Structure 1
């Protein structure tokens, strides 16, 4: 079971208190985009074995969205951070690198 801490209100709880919202840091395309860009936005998702960044919502708490970094193999949560950031904080990336040398995810490492 995942144990997550909401960075917005500071509450820690089991994953049943939260709702997963899919992959984090997607570049969204709308009107004026090419068909290839829109197809990539709709269908192309990372499905890594290892480090993954996801969106979560604290449904039984403050109701706000945030991002979480976790391992898909061990379910270890490396950390959570505000959804308004465009990339994972450097401190979190350093923490992941210390535990998983050589990891990559999209353009982040």
Structure 2
């Protein structure tokens, strides 16, 4: 299991968290992009190999939403709250 660093509770087991998904780029104005780009932004979830910025909710702890960097190859937290993130 992963140990996710909570800035209030310290490193906690991933079972205390709920995955909120990858951090997406800001929502574009629909009239400023093509239909294909707009559909892609709405429906496609990035799944890169390597470090990914993700959101996690400490649902069984302090209730804080965290943004962390996790390496999808190893599940290692490569940067967490308080580490320049």
User: Normalising to structure 2: TM-score of the pair?
Assistant: 0.76
- Measured after TM superposition, the shift of residue 37 of structure 1 is 5.0
Larger relative CO (CA 8 A, sep 6+): 1 or 2? 2
| Equivalence for 1:46 | 46
Q: Cα deviation per residue 1:41-89 (whole Å; 9 max; x = unaligned)?
A: 322222111111111000011112111101111111112238xxxxxx7
Q: More strand per residue: 1 or 2?
A: 2
The alignment of Structure 1 onto Structure 2 pairs a total of residues equal to 82
Q: Aligned residue for 1:59?
A: 59
In structure 1, the gaps of 5 or more residues are: 83-88, 93-109
Moved more, 38-47 or 60-69: 38-47
Q: Who is 2:81 aligned against?
A: 81
Whole-angstrom CA distance in 2 between matches of 1:63 and 1:11:
13
User: Whole-Å Cα distance in 2 between the matches of residues 20 and 50 of structure 1?
Assistant: 17
**Aligned CA-pair RMSD:** 2.3
> 1:40 & 1:6 partners in 2: Cα distance?
32
> Is structure 2 residue 1 aligned with structure 1 residue 4?
no
SS at match of 2:81: strand
What corresponds to 1:101 in structure 2? none
- TM-score, normalised to structure 1, is 0.62
**How many angstroms apart in 2 are the aligned matches of 1:81 and 1:42?**
28
Q: Name stretches of at least 5 consecutive residues in structure 2 with no aligned partner.
A: none
Match of 2:70 in 1: 70
